[in-house]
């Protein structure tokens, strides 16, 4: 279960690339493009961690994070936010909602995210 | 002497090489060249993507010609010209994006840094080549009077 990752990203190319790179690193990845489907799957299946974008259709990452932390099954699940949002306000909000790590897309490399997940 | 190649050898080289230099004609008729990630099928159909609002996408709206070069030091140079067509079918475009992700996944330090590209609106394209040739770069014995390129019959 530890190596099972729920990847939630609405950028198709980035999502597919990160999924493939994680799979090469030995992770089992479920890739979904919207928050609503991701929330539903997280409550059904057991994951070792969630990689979560913030700006997404249907249900945004803030709401997904909030609901995951409110659910008994997923309240302790490691959640890594990967987002283009870069304001202190957004970072503070994500922190308060209980994310374990925040990667700002413009300041990060895919390898950094993968390395972080390997250490969880 | 430089050697000639089979179509399959050229295809294999293109499949293991993920980046190409591509040239377009801008809407003001000036040239535009860039580096692009690509993927290729067994029938030499080539795929690439760019952001919908990019200069490349705007150039292709006016002129769908493309000229590409794919090169590896001391191995092979492939040059080709073709016609670009945008894939508008969402399902087929997703399959192409998957091929492009496959092509990018082996690059350790993938450039451009995908995490730093703002916006999600990709335009996905396929290219049908009308001319393609390859040059053996393993040989140091070049004879300039004769063509050293292997022409590939794409028909």
Put simply, the answer to whether A17 touches B104 (Cβ < 8 Å) is yes
CB contact, 8 Å: B90 with chain A? no
Nearest CA of chain B to the CA of A63: how many Å? Answer: 21
Position B62 pLDDT exceeds 80: yes
- Domains of chain B listed by start with CATH number: 7-141 (2.30.110.10)
Spatial neighbors of B111 by CB under 8 A, at least 6 apart, are B35
Q: Indicate the pTM of the whole model.
A: 0.82
Of B93-97, B100-104, B136-140, give the lowest mean pLDDT range: B136-140
ipTM for the assembly: 0.74
CB contact, 8 Å: B114 with chain A? yes
Put simply, the answer to whether A16 touches B101 (Cβ < 8 Å) is yes
pLDDT value, residue A111: 87
The fold of the A4-119 domain, in CATH, is Rossmann fold (3.40.50)
> B-chain residues within 8 Å CB-CB of A20?
101-102, 105
> Residue B151, class by beta-carbon neighbours within 10 Å (0-12 exposed, 13-18 middle, 19+ buried)?
exposed
B35-74 residues touching A, CB cutoff 8 A: 49
Position A79 pLDDT exceeds 80: yes
pLDDT value, residue A84: 86
Q: How many residues does chain A have?
A: 120
Confidence of residue B38 (pLDDT cuts 50, 70, 90): very high
Which residues face B80 on adjacent strands? B68, B132
**β-strands B46-51, B65-72: how paired?**
unpaired
> Residue B31, class by beta-carbon neighbours within 10 Å (0-12 exposed, 13-18 middle, 19+ buried)?
exposed
State pLDDT tens for residues B108-145: 656 455 555 555 578 999 999 999 999 988 877 666 66
Nearest CB to A105 within list B49, B98, B116: B116
Spatial neighbors of A84 by CB under 8 A, at least 6 apart, are A54, A55, A104, A105, A106, B118
């Amino acid at each position: 279960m530890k190596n099972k990752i729920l990847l939630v990203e609405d950028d198709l190319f980035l999502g597919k690339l990160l999924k493939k790179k994680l799979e090469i690193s030995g992770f089992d990845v479920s890739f979904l493009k919207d928050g609503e489907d991701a929330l539903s799957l997280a409550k059904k299946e057991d994951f070792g961690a969630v990689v979560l974008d913030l700006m997404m259709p249907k249900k945004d990452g803030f709401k997904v994070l909030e609901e995951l932390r409110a659910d008994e099954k997923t309240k302790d699940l490691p959640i890594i936010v990967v987002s283009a949002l870069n304001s202190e306000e957004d970072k503070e909000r994500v922190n308060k909602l209980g994310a374990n790590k925040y990667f700002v897309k413009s300041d990060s490399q895919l390898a950094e995210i993968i390395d972080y997940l390997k250490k969880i | 002497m430089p050697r000639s190649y089979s179509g399959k050898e050229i295809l294999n080289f293109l499949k293991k090489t993920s980046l190409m230099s591509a040239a377009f004609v801008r809407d003001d008729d000036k040239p535009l060249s860039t580096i692009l990630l690509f993927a290729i099928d067994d029938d030499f159909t080539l795929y690439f993507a760019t952001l919908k609002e990019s200069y490349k996408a705007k150039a292709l709206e006016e002129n769908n010609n493309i000229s590409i070069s794919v090169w590896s030091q001391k191995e092979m140079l492939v040059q080709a010209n073709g016609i670009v067509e945008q894939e508008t079918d969402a399902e087929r475009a997703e399959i192409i994006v998957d091929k492009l992700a496959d092509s990018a996944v082996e690059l350790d330090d993938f450039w451009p840094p995908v995490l730093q590209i703002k916006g999600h609106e990709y335009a996905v394209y396929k290219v049908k080549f009308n001319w393609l040739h390859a040059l053996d770069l393993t040989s140091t014995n070049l004879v300039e009077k004769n063509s050293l390129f292997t022409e590939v019959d794409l028909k």
